[in-house]
Amino acid sequence: MKIVSGGVCAAKGFRAAGIHCGIRHNRSKKDLALIVSEKRASAAAVYTTNLVKGAPLVLTKEHLADGMAQAVICNSGNANTCNANGLEIARGMAELAAGELGIAPEDVVVASTGVIGQPLSLDPIREKIGELAEALSGQGSGDACEAIMTTDTRRKEVAVEFTLGGKVCRLGGIAKGSGMIHPNMATMLVFITTDAAISPAMLQKALRGDVASTFNMISVDGDTSTNDMVTVLANGLAGNPEIRAEGPDLEVFMQALNTVTVALCRRIAGDGEGATKLLECAVTGAKDEKAAKTAAKSVVCSNLTKAAMFGADANWGRVLCALGYSGADLDVHKVGVRFRSAAGTVEVCRDGAGVPFSEEEAKKVLTESEIEILVSLGDGDASATAWGCDLTYDYVKINGDYRT
């Protein structure tokens, strides 16, 4: 497994582009992205469980019913959610992209992100769809990544190279997500491409299995978005024998997928709105996986813990508190907590009680930009990891006038 460049264009047969079409008022911000495979591809997706869903998700689910797709079109600046004509607009986006690319509208994944309840016009998309298609290139992943960003401060893209059946394969992805992050079966917007050959059924199985331990284990602010979606397109151009059942090849594919999704999770969490630190909570010694996941996510979701990390305050009681109300099956009298970063490690709690530690050393550890909160439950062999970020003054500033 080797990290390579290229994002969603790392795999054979994929091109991407991103331009400013006019949905967003700031002309320096790209707001329309396109990703295209040179042939129809196996497709899989996982969507938000929020009852309020963006129209693009409803349409994409309809389009992916046959497990195939060839392109993704996505706009930023407007979520196309809670609009009376939302489905009409989403279909229009698919038709515009399909017409320009010479493919069926049903083979287009549609996504939108931005302000909820704001009317979205097709006019700027119609006027610029030709320019967008002309901009498609094998080096366009970065532009596409920028075009799906809202309050993100940096691009999130990664790709890996691996081998299946003696053939070199690549898998890469781009993501957007900074606020309104508390996924349940997806997270904001993530688009993944691969040239590996895998059936739609196995691709869906791989994605759904991965999401439970990756995108469902991050939180920035406790809000589950209305437009969360993760999609994967696999065009098979690497030439490996198609994965049609469980076995060693599927395991290798899932390892590649997991490498990319974990990297994207860390980048989403680390770029939380107003955040200055990436938090990673690793829980070990849990009775079962459910307890480990519940405990880990409770810690990264705790506003008090997040605020303490912002202040580089080793207030481990916040961690114990979050574990105590998490609902996880655990014995608080067995809990141990350590904080770790590039500056070192400090133990702050053992068997549910505080231990002497240097506040000065703890401050150094917690001043770093990436903090690990290591929790040992002492109850079993299960483990889980969750990702989050600190809670800063800027989070309120950003969201106080997000719409206006």
Digit-coded pLDDT (tens) for 33-47:
999 999 999 999 998
pLDDT of amino acid 181: 56
Overall average pLDDT of the 261-274 stretch: 89
Q: Could you tell me which of 271, 66, 102 has the C-alpha nearest to residue 188?
A: 271
- Candidates 279, 333, 334, 283; CA nearest to 302 is 279
Which of 163-167, 264-268, 312-316, 337-341 shows the lowest per-residue confidence on average (mean pLDDT)?
A: 264-268
Q: If you average pLDDT over every residue of the chain, what do you get? A: 93
Sequence-separated (6 or more) residues with CB below 8 Å from residue 212: none
Q: Cβ neighbours of residue 393 under 8 Å, at least 6 residues apart?
A: 274
Between CA 367 and CA 330 the distance in angstroms is 30
Question: Cα dihedral angle (214, 220, 221, 227), rounded to 10 degrees?
Answer: -60
Mean pLDDT of 370-393: 96
Which one, of 218, 324, 226, 321, lies nearest residue 278 by Cα?
Answer: 218
Task: Specify the higher pLDDT residue, 111 or 395.
Answer: 111
In the predicted structure, residue 185 carries a pLDDT above the cut 50: no
**pLDDT of amino acid 363:** 98
Diameter over CA atoms, the chain: 68
pLDDT attached to residue 33: 98
Q: Is the pLDDT of residue 318 over 80?
A: yes
| Terminal C-alpha separation, the chain | 45
Mean pLDDT on 129-148:
98
Verify whether residue 113 is a known catalytic residue. no
Ordered by start, the domain boundaries in the chain are: 2-270, 278-400
Report the pLDDT averaged over residues 172-196: 78
Using alpha carbons, select from 198, 161, 248 the residue that is nearest to residue 44: 198
Q: What is the mean pLDDT of residues 261-286?
A: 92
Structure tokens at 127: 């006027």
Q: How far apart are CA 135 and CA 37, in angstroms?
A: 14
* pLDDT higher than 50, residue 312: yes
pLDDT of residue 330: 96
Instruction: Give the confidence band of 179 by pLDDT, cuts at 50, 70, 90.
Output: low
Q: Is the pLDDT of residue 187 over 60?
A: no
Rounded Cα–Cα distance for residues 311 and 273 (Å): 16
Q: Compute the distance between CA of residue 172 and CA of residue 235 in angstroms, rounded to an integer.
A: 13
Mean pLDDT of 6-11: 98
Beta bridge partner(s), residue 159 = 4, 172
Catalytic entry in 60, 81, 150, 187: 187
Task: Express as a percent the part of the chain with pLDDT over 90.
Answer: 82
Does pLDDT of 297 surpass 70? yes
Q: What pLDDT shows up at residue 226?
A: 65
CATH architecture entry for 2-270: 4-Layer Sandwich (3.60)
Question: Does the pLDDT of residue 62 top 70, yes or no?
Answer: yes
pLDDT for 222 equals 64
Distance, in Å, from the CA atom of 322 to the CA atom of 281, rounded to the nearest integer, reads 12
Rounded to whole angstroms, the Cα distance separating 322 from 327 reads: 9
Mean pLDDT of 181-200: 80
| pLDDT, tens digit (0-9, with 9 covering 90-100), for 208-241 | 999 989 988 988 766 566 668 899 999 999 999 9
Task: Evaluate whether 2-270 and 278-400 have a shared fold.
Answer: no
Q: Please report which confidence band the pLDDT of residue 178 belongs to, taking 50, 70 and 90 as the band edges.
A: low
Taking CA atoms, 211 is separated from 109, 147, 265, 283, in Å, by 19, 24, 10, 18
CA angle at residue 252 from 34 to 236, to 5 degrees? 40
Closest to 50 in 3D by CA, of 92, 82, 76 = 82
HSE-CB of 274 using CA atoms within 13 angstroms: 19
Contact 256, 160 (CB under 8 A): yes
Superfamily of structural domain 278-400: ArgJ beta chain, C-terminal domain (3.10.20.340)
